[in-house]
C-alpha cells in the first residue's frame, strides 16, 4: 500500500508519534519500522550514515512510498520548542545541498523556515542562520534520487540553544517537545497529498543546454546546477532557456540567477 513515511532518529523521538498515529512495530530485517492505517514511521538511528543506509533499504522494500518527512529535535539560536521546516538542507562535511520544494503559502504549515546544517557530532556553537541536526543530509541523499523534492521535507523542534546546552537536555523533555511537531506534520502531509510536483528533468535539460552552449568552469557548473535547482523549487518551474542564453556568458547568468533568488526568498 502507498503511504507517506515519517523518519526519526531515536526511540525517544519516535514514541509520541507512534502513539499519536497508532502505529505498530513491523518485524523487518535491519529496520526499526512502524506501520499504521495512513502512515509509516522509520526509526533510522543516529547520524547521517545510519540514516542514509536505513532510508535506502526502506525505499528498496517500500518503493511505492508517497512522501517522506524527517522529524526530530535540533539545536539552533532559537527559543526552545520552536518548530521549524527546512527550506535548505546542507551537509557540513561535503557542503552538498538540497532544496525541498515548499508547499504553496496557503497550504504551508505554521513553522519557521530555516536552513538545516547536518553535522557529524553534537555542537555548542549556534550560528543564527542554521538549525543543527545529525541526520537530515543522509535522509535527503537517499530519498531525493527516488522521490520528487516536493515530497521530501524536514521538520525539527528546537531542543537546545546557547542558553540550554544539549548536554543538559532531559530525556523526559524530548517527548514533550516532539508533540509540538504533530500539527506541522499533519498540515504537511495534507499539503503534500494535494501539492503538484515539479519537472526535475526539465531543470537537468536546462543545465545541459547551458553548459553545452556557453563556457562554464567546473566551479561555475556546480554553482549553476545548485542555483537552477533552488530557483526551480521556489518558482515551480525552471527559468527560460532563451532568456538565460541571451545573457551571453556565465558571469551574467550567475548574476541574474543570484538576483532572482534574492527576490524570491522562501518566506511566508
Cα–Cα distance measured from residue 56 to residue 46, given in angstroms and rounded to the nearest whole number? 15
**How many CA atoms within 13 Å lie on the side-chain side of 58?**
31
The alpha carbon of 67 is separated from its chain's Cα centroid by a whole number of angstroms, namely 11
Is 139 within a domain? Answer: yes
121 and 218 co-located in one domain: no
227 and 167 co-located in one domain: no
34 and 147 co-located in one domain: yes
Is 54 within a domain? Answer: yes
The CATH number that applies at residue 19 is 3.40.50.1580
Which pLDDT score is estimated for 196?
59
Contacts of residue 152, defined as CB under 8 A and 6 or more positions apart, other chains included, come to: 67, 68, 98, 100, 139, 140, 143, 144
Percent of all residues in the chain with a pLDDT value above 90, rounded to a whole number: 66
Is 268 within a domain? Answer: no
Domain of 50?
5-194
232 and 256 co-located in one domain: yes
Q: Is the dihedral of CA 141, 146, 149, 152 positive or negative?
A: negative
166 and 45 co-located in one domain: yes
147 and 221 co-located in one domain: no
How many structural domains is the chain composed of?
2
**pLDDT tens digits along 114-156:** 999 999 998 888 999 999 999 999 999 999 988 888 899 999 9
Cβ atoms of residues 228 and 201 within 8 Å: no
Amino acid at each position: 500500500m502507498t503511504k507517506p513515511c515519517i523518519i526519526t532518529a531515536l526511540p525517544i523521538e519516535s514514541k509520541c508519534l507512534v502513539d499519536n498515529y497508532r502505529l505498530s512495530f513491523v518485524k523487518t530485517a535491519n529496520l526499526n519500522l512502524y506501520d499504521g492505517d495512513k502512515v509509516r514511521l522509520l526509526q533510522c538511528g543516529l547520524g547521517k550514515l545510519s540514516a542514509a543506509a536505513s532510508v535506502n533499504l526502506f525505499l528498496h522494500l517500500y518503493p511505492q512510498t508517497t512522501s517522506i518527512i524527517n522529524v526530530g529535535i535540533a539545536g539552533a539560536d532559537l527559543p526552545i520548542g520552536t518548530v521549524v521546516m527546512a527550506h535548505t538542507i546542507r551537509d557540513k562535511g561535503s557542503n552538498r545541498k538540497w532544496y525541498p520544494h515548499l508547499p504553496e503559502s496557503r497550504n504551508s504549515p505554521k513553522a519557521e523556515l530555516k536552513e538545516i546544517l547536518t553535522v557529524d557530532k553534537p555542537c555548542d556553537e549556534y550560528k543564527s542562520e542554521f538549525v543543527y541536526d545529525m541526520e537530515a543530509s543522509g535522509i535527503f541523499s537517499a530519498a531525493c534520487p527516488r522521490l520528487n523534492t516536493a515530497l521530501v521535507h524536514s521538520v525539527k523542534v528546537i531542543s537546545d540553544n546557547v542558553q540550554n546546552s544539549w548536554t543538559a537536555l532531559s530525556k523526559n523533555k524530548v517527548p514533550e517537545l516532539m508533540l509540538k511537531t504533530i500539527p506541522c506534520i499533519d498540515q504537511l502531509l495534507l499539503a503534500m497529498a494535494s501539492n503538484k510536483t515539479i519537472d526535475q528533468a526539465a531543470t537537468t535539460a536546462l543545465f545541459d543546454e547551458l553548459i553545452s552552449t556557453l563556457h562554464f568552469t567546473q566551479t561555475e557548473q556546480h554553482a549553476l546546477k545548485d542555483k537552477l535547482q533552488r530557483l526551480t523549487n521556489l518558482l515551480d518551474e525552471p527559468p527560460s532557456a532563451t532568456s538565460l542564453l541571451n545573457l551571453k556568458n556565465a558571469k551574467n547568468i550567475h548574476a541574474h540567477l543570484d538576483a532572482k533568488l534574492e527576490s524570491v526568498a522562501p518566506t511566508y
